[in-house]
Homo-oligomer: A and B are copies of this chain.
Amino acid sequence: MTAASAPHVHQPMFERIALIGIGLIGSSISHAARRAGLAKSIVGSARTPATVATALKLGIIDEGYASAREAADGADLVILCVPVGLCGPIAKEISPVLKPGAILTDVGSVKGSIVRDVAPHVPAGVHFVAGHPIAGTEQSGPESGFAELFDGRWCILTPEAGTDAAAVEKLKVFWQKLGSNVEIMAPDHHDLVLAITSHLPHLIAFNIVNTAAHLERVTDSEVIKFSAGGFRDFTRIAASDPVMWRDVFLNNKDAVLEMLGRFSEDLIALQRAIRFGDGDTLHKLFSDARSIRRGVIQAGQDTPAPNFGRTPAPATAKSGDEKA
């Protein structure tokens, strides 16, 4: 606000953003970054040539590469958008081409293992700040991304002590411009929080869908037809990418096992209340659960619309095997 201030000219935050992996999250970052004008160019790589071709066709990337190394070369922001288990090997691969002053980050759902696997490969002068946007859908691939995915959601950054403060701040502003709120946290605490808010919910959803699929006295067709009683919600979460989730559980073992232990303990207490017909315990516990829902809605993390605002099924929608 002084006479010496430069006139306001829109200057993208980054010259060249490299997306290593162009699935739901990578493509959504591109859409949101273009919406906010954050990059002069966005390039990317994927292991599957068809993914690169689709991303080019959809305008998600300006240049596409078969290798992470080529994509990362010369970028001032490199974002690893791959399953957690691939972050270490890719960091090793791209290490020689990382530009001094560049920021290296990721979007993985586990932070402790990624910091451990990636940090040793980061050259001096490159700023590594691990990150995790708490946003997604059950869909995968470059076609599934959209610019609004991060709007109003949280992104957690887990920089190590001693990381360049300006780089952390720049990445924070980047995520804010993508639409997110940003929180800084230690990697281990992130992994504990996400174990309960994301990893355990997915594990339970995968599990009940598989339990339902292997019953002898209830057919798959019945499970599907009568899924609107609650089960269908779990099938959505259980449709998420299997490789991504395998890597989450392999890399956040301790926190997940801790939360799973708590969950199972509580479930056994509920089972006991059912077995002995203890209605008061059931009623109290079910009533308590409502207040957390109110908190989630007040915090803007879910829609207040009934059934998530699902549109009612059209009157013509019918199952193919109506019997009665």
Contact = CB atoms under 8 A, between A and B. Distances in A.
Contacts of A288: 210, 213
A233 to B, nearest CB: 6
A236 B308 contact: yes
Interface in A124-151: 134-139, 144, 146, 148-149, 151
A39 interface: no
B300 A238 contact: no
Given A153-B228, A263-B211, A310-B309, A293 B239 contact: yes
A59 to B, nearest CB: 20
B153 A292 contact: no
A151 B307 CA distance: 14
A61 interface: no
Interface string A304-324: 001111111111011110111
A66 interface: no
B205 A230 contact: yes
A306 B139 contact: yes
A283 B240 CA distance: 11
Copies per complex of this chain = 2
Interface of A is mostly: helix
Interface stretch (A13-21, A42-50, A114-122, A195-203): A195-203
B283 A235 contact: no
A58 interface: no
Interface stretch (A90-98, A99-107, A269-277): A269-277
A285 interface: yes
Interface stretch (A4-12, A71-79, A181-189): A181-189
A215 interface: yes
A302 interface: yes
Contact of A314 (B152, B220, B306): B152
Contacts of A202: 230
Contacts of A317: 151-152, 300
A156 interface: yes
A144 B247 CA distance: 41
A279 interface: yes
A308 B308 contact: yes
Contacts of A149: 312
12 contacts: A109-B229, A134-B226, A137-B306, A138-B293, A148-B312, A172-B324, A197-B229, A210-B288, A238-B292, A242-B287, A245-B286, A309-B309
